[in-house]
Amino acid sequence: MWRHSVRGAVIAVGAALVVGFGATAASAHVTVAPETATQGDYAALVFRVPNERDDANTVKVDVQLPSGAPLASVRVKARPGWSYEIKKTKLATPVESDGAKVTEAVSEIIWTAQDPKAGIRPDEYDEFAVSVGPLPKAGSMTFKALQYYGDGQVVRWIQEQQANGPEPEHPAPVLRLLPPSKTGAEPAGDAPARASRSAAVSEADDTVAYWALWLSVVAVVVAFASAVMALRASRR
């Protein structure tokens, strides 16, 4: 009987480990939050950058905005310990924003750690925020990102997901865009409020992921303790 008890505990440990490692693996990519936004709206976007190395710091993050969907407004939130550079490109076809024609748009944002010995350390992650809009009438936006480490390695998060295909090894962050709702639409002047709500959703997602990971750890500890107690009881 004790063998069945131990076997059950071991299975529980294995399941908990799968859940725990699954949660950490899913968060190991460079991502954008929230995952969805509304076409024609403004949004507060947060690019989450984890350090996947245990022997080097991330010292630079380069996010490229899609050239096929230029954004008339891009505002970068200052990040303590980091400087940023904004690169723009001339538009072949100007776009209109608030009644004015925009002839150039932001094509790239580069954050650089002010201290090369600092940056994002092993087992840490950081977030880089921007406010953008109006969002294009498209199904999604892909933000290719380059992650630079202090030893010169560059990880290119630029692979696009293919329909019905497996997840790429280094997927690019993707923002899905939804058509505006025909009911309950908000006035265009409420862009700051909508951006604030987007940031709140992003923070809530972080909290859920945090507790999911810790619950997985607790499950592992409880299952292991149960296995030890079953083994001791069988010996007695």
| Domain span holding position 111 | 2-235
Signed CA dihedral, 213, 219, 224, 225: sign only: positive
What is the reported pLDDT for 15? 47
Share above pLDDT 90 across residues of the chain, in percent, rounded to a whole number = 51
Q: Which amino acid is at 44?
A: A
pLDDT tens by residue, the chain, 236 residues = 545 544 554 444 444 444 444 444 444 789 999 999 999 999 999 999 999 999 999 999 999 999 888 899 999 999 999 999 999 999 888 877 666 788 899 999 999 999 978 899 999 999 999 999 999 999 999 999 999 999 999 999 999 988 887 888 999 999 999 999 865 444 444 445 455 554 554 455 555 455 555 556 556 555 666 666 766 666 65
Whether the pTM exceeds 0.75: the reply is no
Q: What is each CA distance from 203 to 208, 209, 210, in whole angstroms? A: 9, 10, 11
Residue 184: what residue type?
A: G
* CATH number of the domain where residue 37 is located: 2.60.40.2230
Residue 66 to residues 117, 199, 211: CA-CA distances in angstroms?
A: 31, 22, 34
Q: How many structural domains compose the chain?
A: 1
Q: What is the pLDDT of residues 120-156, one digit of tens each?
A: 999 999 999 999 999 999 999 999 999 999 999 999 9
d(CA 24, CA 211): 12
What's the burial of 159, exposed, middle or buried (CB within 10 Å: 0-12/13-18/19+)? middle
Instruction: Report the alpha-carbon distance of residue 140 to residue 160 in Å, rounded.
Output: 12
